[in-house]
Amino acid sequence: MADKRNYKADDELSMVGELGIIVASGNTNASTLKAKINASQELEAWSYQVIADTLYKQSQKTVNGEKVTATSAHNLFISTQADYKLLDPDNRIFMYAEYEKKRFSGFRYQTAIAAGWSSRLWHTKTSELKYSVGPGYATSKLKENSSQDLQEGIIARAAMEYKRKFTHQATFLQFISTEIANNFTKTKSETSLSTKINGALAMKLSLVMNHDTGASGSRKDLDTQTAVTLMYQFF
């Protein structure tokens, strides 16, 4: 059988950076600073993606009749995925890892690893749809004053991404992922529309929803973030 991976691969690294102001509702209700880096590369036999996303907020609160400035949110999310392409390069075996740290969330940090099957259902000049699904393992390090220090267990992870270019300047993106365990379900969704301004510079409007049934204390399960950011295509 012929190896279908013998095609011209775009082996140049793509990196996009974002910086902007966010208006959040749910557990975080304030204006804040958001920054994100998304790097990916398509090789002949492998594809890679690394995402680093951070959110930082300082807000004023009244203490003993005086207004003081304090950090009220500081989130960090890092993920990486490597796909090994099979004879049909649209069918792949993936390996995934993530690390998430959210202050004031009840967790010191959360991590997850997963592996399984991924596929591009289609890929054209104007649109792309791909998904991945497989088993994994997750750990959650709780706060020091919690009755349990560590939660861990087997998960099932699934993710889907749809991208559509309406014009040369405008691109729509819908991403959703979910991690399911015996004691929690963690789902992330991002819906965005980006428009080129000039050259490598673009503006992006996005709605991000994070739903975590393992949220502790009085925290809500759902966080929503509406952001307007500037994007820059480094290369």
Query: Is 113:100 a contact under the CB 8 Å cutoff?
Result: no
What amino acid occupies position 71?
T
Residue 75 clears pLDDT 60, i.e. is over it: yes
Q: How confident is the model at residue 31 (pLDDT cuts 50, 70, 90)?
A: confident
Tokens of 104: 């004031």
Instruction: Indicate the domain borders of the chain.
Output: 14-58+69-233
Taking residues 100-111, what's their average pLDDT?
82
The candidate with the shortest Cα–Cα distance to 213, out of 171, 179, 174, is 179
Q: Which two tokens stand for residue 30?
A: 């304030």
pTM over 0.95: no
Tens of pLDDT, residues 155-171: 999 999 999 999 888 99
Q: 198-229 pLDDT, tens per residue?
A: 889 999 999 999 988 876 555 678 888 888 89
CATH of region 14-58+69-233, choose from 3.30.910.10, 2.60.40.740, 3.20.20.70, 2.40.160.40: 2.40.160.40
Q: Which residues contact 13 (CB under 8 A, 6 or more apart)?
A: 39, 40, 41, 235
Q: Give the pLDDT confidence score for residue 218 in this predicted structure.
A: 56
Express the helix, strand and coil content of the chain in percent, nearest 5 each. 0, 75, 25
Q: What percent of the chain stands above pLDDT 70?
A: 82
What number is the average pLDDT over the span 4-15? Answer: 63
